[in-house]
């Protein structure tokens, strides 16, 4: 197997670990809420703390990748995210739960940043769009994680027991494939668009282009956060669905998100990133309108399925756009745009909890509907850029 194909396989494995672990935890959030007797305000602060530490993890990973390379940084982060996923199952108090989930959150941020650095680097080696395929693997693992969560709930497994299995799977996958990641000598940039043989330098990346990509990316992550964290609670508390049905909305969301990502690279190749993002944004707006106005659980689940299709291609295309802002600062730009992920989670955590408290769970998704309109309005920021190199 060629080094590029081996690296592609390793990146697929990394996305699988991240998707499985994350989904296995967030779809058990209703269980955590019940076990610790939490209300929506408690969930708010828990998510805020985790998102803040994830942003820190992304920034730290950006510096580490620039200094030592994204491959070793990613391997450490993947081990941390697997081990950290077990910690919430060991917590016996709310402070302990917050501390444990923050440790997990830090490594989530580090993995998100470095995994996408590797993904963009591998795509550049191939010379064609393959990033949506990587994110499709995340979705496959997330669907498996949601199904696994439903199964363990039905079998009355403890939170700890269910997460130990996920941890072991992640550690084994990392051990088997981590050595195949794209590598560089210390001080060599891998994960941006720079030639991996070129020594990395301290490079100033302009903030304005990063922010213009980060804003629609932020809009996507607000809605992804709202779906992954609050959809189950929305079904149970807003529409009086049974507990076993709570993961259905997230499962439908991830299933359609996966289906679109499986053909996403072809769509980008045929229509271009800008047109794909604009069409996706329009679909997301329609989906949120269905969710907000839905009269029944079935219609809500359909709405979340449509939302998965609308949001599916925004993350991979945002990382590619960030990595191509300039050839020397690719790792830095990706790490910074990735922070929009956690800002979106923070906004979703505060805004939805506030909405739930003031007006009830039935109105949780009104603000996400407003925010998602930013995606089609700013789709031109995903226009392919001509990559330039600083003079030697």
**Average pLDDT by consecutive 10-residue portion of the chain (392 residues)?**
90 95 84 82 80 93 90 96 92 89 95 94 90 91 86 87 94 94 59 43 69 93 87 78 74 88 93 94 96 86 95 94 72 88 86 83 90 94 60 28
Distance CA 257, CA 206 (A): 32
Does CATH number 1.10.10.10 belong to domain 3-182+205-382? Answer: no
Distance CA 158, CA 116 (A): 33
Distance CA 383, CA 73 (A): 30
- Compute the chain's Rg from CA coordinates: 20
Residue 12 three-state SS: helix
Q: Tell me what pLDDT residue 199 has.
A: 39
Distance CA 293, CA 312 (A): 22
Q: Tell me what pLDDT residue 330 has.
A: 62
Residue 134 three-state SS: helix
DSSP states along 183-226: ---TTB--SSSS-TTSBP---PPPHHHHHHHHHHHHHHHHHHHH
For residues 382, 387, 389, 390, the Cα torsion angle rounded to the nearest 10 degrees is -40
Cβ atoms of residues 321 and 201 within 8 Å: no
Q: Tell me what pLDDT residue 328 has.
A: 58
Within 8 A by CB and 6+ apart from 32, the residues are: 38, 88, 97, 159
Domain ranges of the chain: 3-182+205-382
Q: Tell me what pLDDT residue 173 has.
A: 95
Tokens 């929506």 locate to: 40
Q: How many CA atoms lie within 13 A of 322 on its CB side?
A: 32
């Amino acid at each position: 197997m060629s080094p590029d194909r081996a690296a592609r396989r390793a990146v697929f494995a990394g996305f699988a670990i991240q998707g499985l672990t994350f989904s296995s935890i967030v779809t058990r959030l209703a269980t955590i809420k019940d076990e610790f007797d939490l209300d929506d305000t408690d969930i708010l602060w828990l998510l805020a703390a985790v998102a803040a530490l994830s942003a820190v993890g992304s920034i730290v990973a950006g510096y580490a990748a620039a200094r030592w390379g994204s491959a070793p940084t990613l391997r450490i982060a993947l081990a941390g995210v697997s081990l950290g996923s077990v910690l919430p199952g060991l917590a016996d108090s709310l402070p302990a739960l917050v501390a444990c989930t923050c440790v997990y959150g830090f490594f989530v941020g580090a993995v998100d940043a470095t995994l996408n650095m590797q993904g963009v680097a591998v795509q550049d080696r191939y010379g064609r769009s393959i990033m949506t395929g990587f994110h499709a693997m995340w979705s496959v693992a997330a669907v498996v994680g949601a199904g696994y969560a439903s199964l363990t709930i039905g079998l009355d497994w403890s939170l700890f027991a269910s997460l130990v299995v996920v941890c072991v799977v992640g550690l084994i996958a990392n051990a088997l494939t981590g050595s195949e990641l794209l590598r560089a000598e210390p001080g060599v940039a891998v994960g941006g668009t720079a030639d991996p043989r070129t020594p990395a330098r301290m490079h100033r990346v302009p903030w304005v282009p990063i922010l213009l990509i980060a804003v629609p990316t932020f809009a996507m992550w607000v809605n992804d956060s709202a779906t992954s964290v609050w959809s189950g609670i929305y079904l149970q508390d807003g529409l009086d669905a049974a507990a076993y049905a709570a993961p259905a909305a997230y499962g439908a969301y991830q299933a359609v998100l996966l289906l679109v990502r499986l053909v996403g690279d072809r769509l980008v190749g045929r229509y271009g990133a800008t047109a794909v993002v604009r069409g996706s944004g329009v679909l997301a707006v329609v989906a949120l309108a269905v969710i907000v106005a839905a009269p029944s659980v079935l219609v809500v689940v359909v709405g979340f399925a449509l939302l998965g299709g609308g949001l599916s291609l925004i993350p991979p295309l945002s990382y590619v756009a960030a990595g191509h802002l300039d050839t020397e600062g690719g790792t830095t730009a990706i790490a910074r745009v990735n922070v929009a992920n956690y800002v979106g989670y923070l906004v979703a955590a505060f805004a939805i909890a506030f909405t739930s408290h003031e007006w009830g769970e039935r109105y949780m998704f009104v603000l996400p509907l407003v925010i998602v309109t930013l995606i089609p309005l700013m789709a031109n920021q995903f226009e392919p850029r001509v990559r330039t190199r600083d003079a030697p």
